[in-house]
Amino acid sequence: MNEIEKYILQFPNDVQDILRKIRKLIKDNAPEAEELMAYGMPGYKTNKKPLVYFAGFKNHIGFYATPSGHGEFSDELSTYKQGKGSVQFPLNQAIPYELMERIVRFRVTENNNKAKR
């Protein structure tokens, strides 16, 4: 069992299911991404640059796509509580998996473009 799975297992079953879906959508949309624990949460890198991070909390899922990922999708994320480079998806609402997929794909493209320069 790796560190990410150990991290996920510390949460209630319903939250574990959400965290596993997020992990799968990141891996499906960024298959080349390196998976690691960083800042105490699962993180992903492409081209040695941060891609996204996610974390479970008592009442929400934290999703961190750096400021650029959040800036690009600011209208769609505007209904959620945010910080610089972070957004909170409340556990008592539907998790916007499709939006998260689009953010991951955007970040992959952004990191790939930076790597080509």
Instruction: Say what the pLDDT of residue 67 is.
Output: 75
Question: So where are the chain's domains?
Answer: 3-109
| Confidence band for 66, pLDDT divided at 50, 70 and 90 | confident
Q: Name the percent of the chain lying above pLDDT 90.
A: 86
CATH numeric code, 3-109 = 3.90.1150.200
| Confidence band for 115, pLDDT divided at 50, 70 and 90 | confident
- What's the pTM value of the predicted model, to 2 decimals? 0.94
Instruction: Say what the pLDDT of residue 8 is.
Output: 98
- Arithmetic mean of pLDDT over the chain: 94
Q: How far apart are CA 75 and CA 82, in angstroms?
A: 12
